Amino acid sequence: MAEVAHAEHYTSTGIDHRKVLMWLFLGSECLFFGSLIATYQVYRGQSLVGPHPHEIFNIAYTSISAFVLLMSSLTMALAVNSIRLGNLPATRVWLLLTALQGSIFVGGQVFEFTTFVAHGLSLQVNLFGTTFFVLTGFHGAHVTVGIIMLFSLLFASVLGRLGPAQALTVEIVGLYWHFVDIVWIVIFTVVYLLPY
Amino acid sequence: MATVGRAVGVFPRPGFFEYLWSWLTTVDHKRIGILYGLTTTAYLLVGGLEALLIRIQLAHPESRFLDPDTYNQIFTMHGLTMIFLVAMGYNATFFNLVVPLQLGARDVAFPRLNAFSYWGFLFGSLLLNLGWLWGQAPGVGWFAYANLTSVQYTPGLGTDFYVMGLQVLGISSIASALNFLVTIINLRAPGMTMFKLPVFSWMTLVVSVLIITAFPPFTVGLIEVMFDRLFGTNFFNPAAGGNPVLWQHLFWVFGHPEVYILVLPAMGIVSEVLPVFARKPLFGYPFVVFSGIFIGFLGWGVWAHHMFAVGLGPVANSVFAITTMLIAVPTGVKVFNWLGTLWGGHIQLKTPLYFAALGFIAPFIIGGVTGVMHPVVPSDYQQTDTYFVVAHFHYVVMPIVAAFFAGFYYWLPKYTGRLLDEGLGKVHFWLFFIGTNLTFGSQIIVGFLGMPRRNYTYPAGLGWEPWNLLSTIGAFLIGLSVVVFVVNVLKSLRSGQVAGPDPWDGRTLEWLTSSPPPVYNFAEIPVVRHRDELWARKYGAHGERVGAHNPPNPGSELQIHLPRPSYYPLVAALGIAIGFLGAVLIRPAEVGGLGPLGWAVVVLGALITVGGLYGWAFEPAE
Amino acid sequence: MAERTESRPVRHQAAGEAGKGVGAELHDLTAEYIRVAVVLAVVTLIEVATYYVALARGLTIGVLLVLSALKFSLVVLYFMHLKFEGRLLKYVFSGPLLLAVVVVIALMALFGVLIG
């Protein structure tokens, strides 16, 4: 990731290349998740057979895991804050907490999927199963990638390769992480909470 | 810390494998551009061969030269090759060759990501074509309408190669577009504000925005087809309530911006070539830039004009008809700007100008005029699925090819150091120009006579025969013109006239440095004060000559830090392609797959990718 | 693209300083982040409550869309710091986001599922 870590380098806008890259990438990701959500919405309530969403959702359970992911954004922001202030121990703690909350979310999703499958909702059984698993599954995959990046940062810090000079790297991983969180804010509302 | 002190000037002649290795690990945008150019030219020949096979088949009625299934595969692969491999490939070629030099930059913002984009392009294109080995290339049209793509109707591997090949190419394109966006946003020479940015770089910017926004919906559509085929989901399965029309929307949400992704760089090339050979500034620069942006923006709101015959209802049809008619306005604005550029200029009748003015603008107007007939919905009902449509979009894409040729005659000397032959260039042009109009002019007429497209043959006695024969003759002229081009390039490499840094008396920064440019492009990053910076340096902003431009200063070479060569981009791209190949091979053994063993290939690909990415992330960049 | 941001080229001393924008001055943002998180938590609570309270269908939909847009904006503006970035990054993100929203709405309208 040290692509442009010259001792001194010029950018036309004064913003680091990697940060511009990440924001552009997230813009692109908006269209990716937008298209998945559009598919979900076009097929909303079009299933010919059950199980239907209201028969199978456990809103209390999913609310808690959504809340955990939301709070992981707080710890991520605090990690960025800490490394900017040069507080490496605190950075590690916040990164670890973020990764753990992410893992709880993904674990919760795996459990939820298993429960749904046990109740007869599979990828193949109806349009709801098809669109639900693909949309939330791709989100879960994004969270997993984020967790891997967080653990990579922690690993780098154990090797002594994470210091205030890498604050921007942490910030960029943070941008990705927050994005994954806001996607879930939308999915949670659209898929789980909006009345069918 | 790779510095270039040794590398410039006289190379110590390396052994063959060292030389090969230096290309496999290169992160230099100029070398990557050359790799793109060579790969793409190979595909131009492949796609052209496919076109000739189609034309041989259609030269006579009731022909049995190709069987229907082979014909489907060939016309599908012709479209896919020409769009995703040739047009996108040449776009990437020119982005790489030209943009960093025009910006006055040493390289792109992310050199290794750039290498990754190229290798992804190469491996993705190979994956797309791999189906030929099974005798099952994609045969569902480049649009691959659902639910023809479900396993029920196309059980073979062809459709899987379509899906997976295009996914890899999509990843490569998005990576490349992100890279060029950051480069243009962030690596402009000091003083080069956005309204001093050369038009080709502007169009690269607009196209890159289109790529990063239009490819994701297509990616999602491909994912849905993949899930339907591999895991039995219901996205496009009407028996479970799925709606195949959703695919058409996702495809054209991407597919129409894709048309502008193809044409805007060509417009950029033309906007660079005309001022140089008219020896006056581009007429109405802000209009050219803003109409380019407007085309890119409107390109998002016209997709359903490909779907009038689906039955979306009068409201949707009318909305998309109006937006489609609107898009003719900025296009027309550009045409008038080009004419205004030529008007009153000191025209230098060199080959690049032939291709840009006669090869692009004139036929493109025919493409535009036939295009603006389609949004008239009742008229479109008559034209849809006839050769009139085929003729229309070829009158749009053949000028794009002409613009690429203009670009090669114009810019190639910058990278080879040698000019192309003017005589052969004119032969190339006239063969291409006459061939194009013969081929597709005939198709306009035969389309009006009602000949349907995509059918492998047609009955005699409907008045279609002479036009089809003419069309075939024209296609062979185009083929011949490409041969002349290849000969011209080879001849130029052997014995072309030495170009020097500025053979055309150019206007923009790429002509400031030597030909070929040193690996670091500019010994000193130029400071920009004018839109046509080099012209202003040579002749002053108001026409008085102020002296020649500065050659690179060898004294300061040792201080330039260059990105270090890396093989990790190649490894990561290879891993991704292997992973997607595995996803093809998951299909059962009866149709040529490996069944569950395909998963092993997926896992292998994933491991190679992860290894490549980690090596990439943790290796020092310089 | 923002012409205003580019008129002042900047040379950076260290990669860590790069691209911090206006908020680059080093002060502790913990309190601010916690305030944002509290708001997010409360809004989430209200959202979930709508599921259990019987409101008119249209009202529920409206309330939920507004609340989730609020949460979305809070995370983007404060946690992702976009509020304090220049125009360039604001456009880079909000442009495609807007496009995505339009595509979703357009597709729903085309399939006749936007209303009802």
Asked if the Cβ–Cβ distance from A134 to B241 is below 8 Å, we say no
Of B245, B147, B228, the closest CA to residue A42 belongs to B245
> Catalytic one among B26, B117, B150, B172?
B172
Q: What is the pLDDT of residue B14?
A: 66
Chain C: partners with 3+ C-beta pairs within 8 Å = A, B
**pLDDT at position B622, please?**
57
Q: Is residue C43 within a helix (H) or strand (E), and if so which, with residue range?
A: helix C30-52
- For A144, B338, B464, B603, B613, the CA distances from B608, given in Å and listed in that order, are 18, 49, 54, 9, 9
Q: Tell me the per-residue pLDDT of A107-151, one tens digit each, with 9 for 90 and over.
A: 999 999 999 999 999 999 999 999 999 999 999 999 999 999 999
User: B291 catalytic, yes or no?
Assistant: no
Long-range contacts made by residues B311-320, C-beta under 8 angstroms, separation at least 24?
B312/C110, B316/C110, B317/B377, B318/B377, B320/B375
Residues of A in contact with C79 (CB under 8 A): 73-74, 76-77, 174, 178
Question: What amino acid is encoded at A21 in this protein?
Answer: L
- Residues of chain A with pLDDT > 90: what percent? 86
Interface of B with A in 100-129 (CB under 8 A): 109-113
Q: Report, as an integer, the average pLDDT of B386-397.
A: 95
Measured between alpha carbons, how far is A149 from B573 in angstroms, rounded to an integer? 19
Residue B617 and residue B94: Cα distance in Å, rounded? Answer: 28
pLDDT at B461 over 80: yes
Q: At what angle do helices B568-585 and B597-618 cross, to 10 degrees?
A: 160
Say yes or no to pLDDT of B581 above 50: yes
Residue B340 pLDDT > 50, yes or no?
yes
The pTM assigned to this predicted structure is: 0.92
pLDDT value at residue B621: 62
Chains adjacent to B (≥3 CB pairs closer than 8 angstroms): A, C
Mutate to test the interface with A, among C28, C77, C79, C101 (most CBs of A within 10 A): C79
Query: Helix B465-495 to helix B29-58 angle, to the nearest 10 degrees?
Result: 150
Residues found in chain A: 196
pLDDT at B554: 47
Could C110 and B316 be called an inter-chain contact, meaning their C-beta atoms sit closer than 8 Å?
yes
* Whether the predicted pLDDT of B53 surpasses 80: yes
Q: Name the average pLDDT for chain B.
A: 92
Lowest pLDDT segment from A60-64, B15-19, B541-545, C53-57: B541-545
pLDDT confidence of residue B310: 87
Determine contact: B219 vs chain C, CB below 8 A: no
The pLDDT-based confidence of B564 (bands split at 50, 70, 90) is confident
Question: Is residue B172 flagged as an active site residue?
Answer: yes
Annotated catalytic residue, options B271, B386, B508, B515? B271
Question: What pLDDT score does C102 carry?
Answer: 94
* The pLDDT value given to residue B52: 97
> ipTM exceeding 0.95?
no
The residue of chain A with its CA nearest to that of B208 is: A24
Q: What is B2-618's CATH topology?
A: Cytochrome C Oxidase; Chain A (1.20.210)
Q: Answer yes or no: are the C-beta atoms of B320 and B303 closer than 8 Å.
A: yes
pLDDT digit string (tens) for B429-448? 999 999 999 999 999 999 99
Task: Tell me, yes or no, if B542 is annotated catalytic.
Answer: no
Quick check: helix, strand or coil at residue A11? strand
pLDDT computed for residue C113 by the predictor: 82
Output the CA angle B612-B617-B618, nearest 5 degrees.
Answer: 105
Q: According to the model, what pLDDT value does residue B542 have?
A: 63
Identify whether the C-beta of residue B194 lies closer than 8 Å to the C-beta of residue C1: yes
**pLDDT at residue A42 is higher than 70:** yes
Task: For residue A96, tell me if it sits in a domain.
Answer: yes
Nearest to C3 among B195, B243, B246 (CB): B195
Is residue A82 in some structural domain? yes
**Residue B304 contacts C where some CB pair is shorter than 8 Å:** yes
Within 8 A by CB and 6+ apart from C56, the residues are none
Domain presence at residue A81: yes
Fill in the amino acid letter for A121.
L
Residues from chain C that touch A12, judged by Cβ atoms under 8 A, are 6, 9
Asked if the bond preceding B147 is cis, omega within 30° of 0, the reply is yes
Residues B184-218 pLDDT 10s: 999 999 999 999 999 999 999 999 999 999 999 99
Chain C residues close to A195, C-beta within 8 Å: 57, 60-61
Candidates C48, C92, C111; nearest CB to A24: C92
Which residues from B are below 8 Å from C96, CB to CB?
Answer: 212-213
Q: Is B380 a catalytic residue?
A: no
Is B428 among the residues known to form the active site?
no
Nearest by CB to residue A165, choosing from C16, C57, C85, is C16
Residue B423 pLDDT: 96
Q: Give me the catalytic one of B31, B55, B334, B531.
A: B334
Q: Are residues A127 and B113, on separate chains, in Cβ contact within 8 Å?
A: no
Pick C26's closest partner by Cβ from A27, A38, A84. Answer: A84
Work out the pLDDT band at A9, boundaries 50, 70, 90: low
Average pLDDT value over all residues in chain A = 92
Nearest to B445 by CA among B376, B381, B366: B366
Q: Kindly tell me if the per-residue pLDDT of C9 is higher than 50.
A: no
**What average pLDDT score do residues B567-593 get?**
95
Q: Give the pLDDT mean for B272-285.
A: 95
B110 to A17: CB separation less than 8 angstroms, yes or no = yes
Confidence at residue B336, expressed as pLDDT on a 0 to 100 scale: 95
- Residue B559's pLDDT is 62
**% of chain B residues with pLDDT over 70:** 94
Q: For residue C28, what are the contacts with CB-CB under 8 A and spacing of at least 6?
A: A81, A85
CB contact under 8 A, A186 and C72: yes
Using pLDDT thresholds of 50, 70 and 90, give the confidence band for residue B133: very high
Structural domain includes residue A6: no
**Residue C7 pLDDT > 90, yes or no?**
no
Q: What is the DSSP string of B67-93?
A: -HHHHHHHHHHHHHIIIIIIIHHHHHH
Asked if B194 lies within 8 A of C3 by C-beta distance, the reply is: yes
Using the predicted structure, report yes or no on whether residue B220 has a pLDDT greater than 60: yes
| Residues whose CB is less than 8 angstroms from the CB of residue B15 and which lie 6 or more positions away in sequence, other chains included | none
* CA–CA separation, B132 and B244 (whole Å): 27
Please report all neighbours of A, defined by 3+ CB atom pairs within 8 A: B, C
B196 a catalytic residue? no
Measure CB to CB from residue A36 to each of B220, B241, B253 and give the nearest one.
Answer: B220
The half-sphere exposure of B324 on its side-chain side, counting CA atoms within 13 A, is 26
Domain boundaries, chain B: 2-618
Say what the pLDDT of residue B330 is: 93
* Residue B6 pLDDT greater than 60, yes or no: no
From the number of C-beta atoms within 10 Å of its C-beta (0-12, 13-18, 19+), residue A113 rates as middle
Chain position carrying tokens 């938590």: C41
Q: What is the mean pLDDT of the segment spanning B484-490?
A: 97
Region label for B545, one of left (φ > 0), alpha (ψ between -120 and 50) or beta (otherwise): beta
Q: What is the CATH number of the domain that holds A101?
A: 1.20.120.80
For the residues B420-430, what does the mean pLDDT come to? 97
**Domain range holding A27?**
17-193
pLDDT at C22: 40
